Structure 1
Amino acid sequence: MKPQLKADLAMLLVTLFWGSSYLFMQMGLTDLSTFNLIGLRFGIAFVIAACIFYRRLLQTTRKTLGHALILGAILFVVFATVTEGVKTTTASQAGFLVSLTVIFVPLLSILLKHKPQTRVFFGAGLAVVGIALLTLNESLRISMGDALCIATALFYATHIIVTGRLAPQSDAIALGVCQLGFAAAFGFVSSLFFESPRLPHTPKAWLAVLVLSVLCSAIGFVVQTVAQKYTSPTHTGLIFSLEPVFAALFAFLLSGETLSIRGYIGAALVLLSVLIAEIDFARWFRGKKQQASPLPERNMPL
C-alpha cells in the first residue's frame, strides 16, 4: 500500500472520530466549563500519547518544542471557539460550518504565494449562500454560536497549513504529542483564571471527556500530524470534508437531532462548495474519458 493511501485512510478514520466530537462536546459542557473541558481533554490525551511514545519524547529537541508551542496555541484557539460555539448551535450545524476549513485552506494559501484555482473562489461564493441559509434567523442575524464555528474553520485552516509547514521539519510524533500538552496547558491556565476547574461529576460527562481525549485527541491529532508528512494540506482538507456528514449522522443516531428544510439546503450547499473547491471535476472527467476511449491503433506499441 502506498504511503499516501495509508495517510489518507488514517485521516479518514480521524475524520470519523472528529465527526462525533461535536455531540460529545455538548455532552461534556453539561457538567464542565469551556476551558476546563479543553484542559481535561488535551491533558488526558497528552498523558496517554506520552506514555505510548515516551522514547520519542526523550529525544525531543528545542526546535520541535518551539513548533509544538505554536501548534498547541493555535489548537487551543480552535477548540476554545468551537467548544464555546456548540453551546448555542446544533452539533450538525457546527459540523457543516467547521467544514469551511476546506475553503479557507486554499484561500489562506494565498499568503504563501500559492494561487488557488478559480473553482476555489466559486466554491467560496456558494459557501456564503449555504451559510446564509444554514445560520441566518428571521431577523437576518447569525447566532454567536454559528459565528464562533465559522471562526473555528478559519483557525483550523491555519492549523492545517502551519502543520504542513512544520511537520516535515520535526519529529512528527513528538510534535503531535507535545502540541497536545501545550493545548492542555493553555486550557488549564485559562480555566484557572476565568473559571473554577474541577473533574466531571456525572458518568455522561466522563464518557464525553474520555471519548474526546482518547479517540478525538490522543489518536486524532498524532495521526494527523504524522499523516500530513505524506499528503498535502489541500488533500487533507478534502478528506476533512466528510466530517460534517459524520457529525450529522452521529447527531441523528445518538440524539435524534435534525435540521429544518432550509437548514438542509444550506448544509448541502456548504458541502457542495467544499467538493467544488477541492475536486477538479473537469480534470477528473477528462481522465475518465481517456480511460474509456482506447488510443488509435496507429499509436499503440507494436
Structure 2
Amino acid sequence: MKSRTWQADGLLMVTAIIWGLAFVAQRASMEHIGPFVFNSARFALGCLSLLPLLWWRRNGPAQPFRPLLLGSLAAGTLLFAGSSLQQIGLVYTTAANAGFITGLYIVMVPILALFWRHKTDAYTWIGAFVSLVGLFMLSMTDQWTLAYGDLLELIGALFWAGHVLLIGWLCRRLDPIRLALGQFLVCTLLSLGAALLWEQFDLQALSNVWVPIGYAGILSVGVAYTLQVVAQRHAPAAHAAIILSLESVFAALGGWLLLDESLGTRGLLGCAIMLSGMLISQLPVMRDRSRPEPA
C-alpha cells in the first residue's frame, strides 16, 4: 500500500508540473497567435488525445445520448469561458500571476457551493481571506486597482470553480471519459467560432507555436488528465490537495526559468500568502479524508 501511495504521489507531482508549465506554453503562444485560435487548436488536440482512452473503454456500459449531450454542452461552455478569460488574461499578465490567481478556484469552490446549500466551514473563510491578502500584494497597482490581466484571471477562476462543481455533479451520472471528450469538443467549437469572428488564422504563425500548442493540448489536457485519474485511485485526498496546489508554484518557476519573468519581493510574498490560503482552505480535506479513495 505504501509503495502504491508513493507511486500515486509521484504521478500527481508530474501532473502538477505539467499543468504549471502549461501556463508558460500558453503565455509564449500569445506572442504569435490570438487566444481563441490557441484554445481551438489546444482543445482539438485534447479531443484527439482522449480517443485512445475512449477506444480502450469501448466495451463499457452504454451512455444515454441526451444527458451526455446536455452535460457536455454545460461543462464545455463553462470550460470555454474559463479558458478564454485565462488565455486573454495571459496577454496582459505573467505565467506566475495567472497560475496563482487561477489556483484560487480551490477556495472559491466551497463558497460557490453555498448556493446549493452546502455547508462551508471556517477554514474556507480563513483561507479565502488569506488568499485575498495575497492577491492584493500580488496584483494591486499603484493606483489601487487590480491589474487588468489579473482581473481577467480572477473572473476566469470563478468559471473554473463553477466548472469543478458541475463536473463533480455530472461525473456521478455520466461516464467521465465520454464527458471529458464531449466538453473538450464543445470548447473547441466555441473557441473556433470566436476565432473566426474576432481573430485571423495564420498558418505561418501557427507553425511557429506548434510546440506550445502540442504541449498544452496533448500533455496538459490528455496526459495530465489521465495521470490524475490513475493517481487518485491510490493517493490519499490530503496528498492530492497539497500536491496539485503546487501547480501555481511550477507556473511561477517555469515563467522565471523559461520566460525570464520576475515577480519582485512583494509579488513573491503575495504568491506565498495565496498558496497558504489555498492550503488552509483544504485543511478539512486533509484531516477527514486521509485514506485512499477511488477517483
User: How high is the TM-score relative to the length of structure 1?
Assistant: 0.83
Structure 2: segments with no counterpart, 5+ residues: 291-295
2:153 paired residue among 145, 149, 152: 149
Matched, 1:270 2:274: yes
2:64 paired residue among 61, 65, 71: 61
Query: Deviation digits for residues 4-34 of structure 1, max 9, x if unmatched?
Result: 9587665443322110111111111122111
Please name the residue that 2:120 is paired with. 116
Query: Deviation digits for residues 119-146 of structure 1, max 9, x if unmatched?
Result: 2111111111111110011111112100
Query: Deviation digits for residues 220-264 of structure 1, max 9, x if unmatched?
Result: 345557877999999866543211111111112212322111111
Residue 197 of structure 1 and its aligned partner are, at CA, apart by 2.8
Q: Aligned letter for 2:43?
A: F
For structure 1, which segment, 224-233 or 265-274, has the greater mean C-alpha deviation from structure 2 after superposition?
A: 224-233
Please name the residue that 1:49 is paired with. 50
- Which secondary structure state, in structure 2, belongs to the residue aligned with residue 169 of structure 1? coil
Please name the residue that 2:140 is paired with. 136
Please name the residue that 1:208 is paired with. 212
Query: Residue 188 of structure 1 contacts residue 197 of structure 1 at CA under 8 Å; is this kept in 2?
Result: no
Query: Residue 11 of structure 1 contacts residue 224 of structure 1 at CA under 8 Å; is this kept in 2?
Result: yes
Structure 1: segments with no counterpart, 5+ residues: 288-302
Matched, 1:32 2:36: no
- Which secondary structure state, in structure 1, belongs to the residue aligned with residue 205 of structure 2? coil
Query: Deviation digits for residues 83-108 of structure 1, max 9, x if unmatched?
Result: 00011111111111111111101111
Residue 148 of structure 1 and its aligned partner are, at CA, apart by 0.8
Residue 273 of structure 1 and its aligned partner are, at CA, apart by 0.7
Query: Residue 176 of structure 1 contacts residue 222 of structure 1 at CA under 8 Å; is this kept in 2?
Result: no
Q: What's the Cα RMSD here?
A: 3.0
Residues 135-214 of structure 1 mapped to structure 2, 5 A cutoff:
135-199=139-203, 201=205, 204-214=208-218
Q: Percent identity?
A: 27
Matched, 1:255 2:259: yes
- Which secondary structure state, in structure 2, belongs to the residue aligned with residue 142 of structure 1? coil
Q: In the aligned structure 2, how far is the partner of 1:80 from the partner of 1:161?
A: 19
Q: How many residues align?
A: 284
Q: In the aligned structure 2, how far is the partner of 1:60 from the partner of 1:220?
A: 24
User: How high is the TM-score relative to the length of structure 2?
Assistant: 0.85
Q: In the aligned structure 2, how far is the partner of 1:188 from the partner of 1:8?
A: 36
Q: In the aligned structure 1, how far is the partner of 2:77 from the partner of 2:240?
A: 21
Q: In the aligned structure 2, how far is the partner of 1:256 from the partner of 1:32?
A: 20
Structure with bigger gyration radius: 1
Residue 265 of structure 1 and its aligned partner are, at CA, apart by 1.1
Distance of aligned partners of 1:48 and 1:145 in 2 relative to their CA distance in 1, 3 Å threshold:
same
- Which secondary structure state, in structure 2, belongs to the residue aligned with residue 257 of structure 1? coil
Q: In the aligned structure 2, how far is the partner of 1:14 from the partner of 1:131?
A: 25
Q: In the aligned structure 2, how far is the partner of 1:34 from the partner of 1:282?
A: 36
Q: Aligned letter for 1:42?
A: F
Query: Deviation digits for residues 23-48 of structure 1, max 9, x if unmatched?
Result: 11111112211111110000122123
Matched, 1:125 2:133: no
Please name the residue that 1:290 is paired with. none
- Which secondary structure state, in structure 2, belongs to the residue aligned with residue 213 of structure 1? helix
Residues 86-125 of structure 1 mapped to structure 2, 5 A cutoff:
86-125=90-129
Q: In the aligned structure 2, how far is the partner of 1:9 from the partner of 1:164?
A: 24
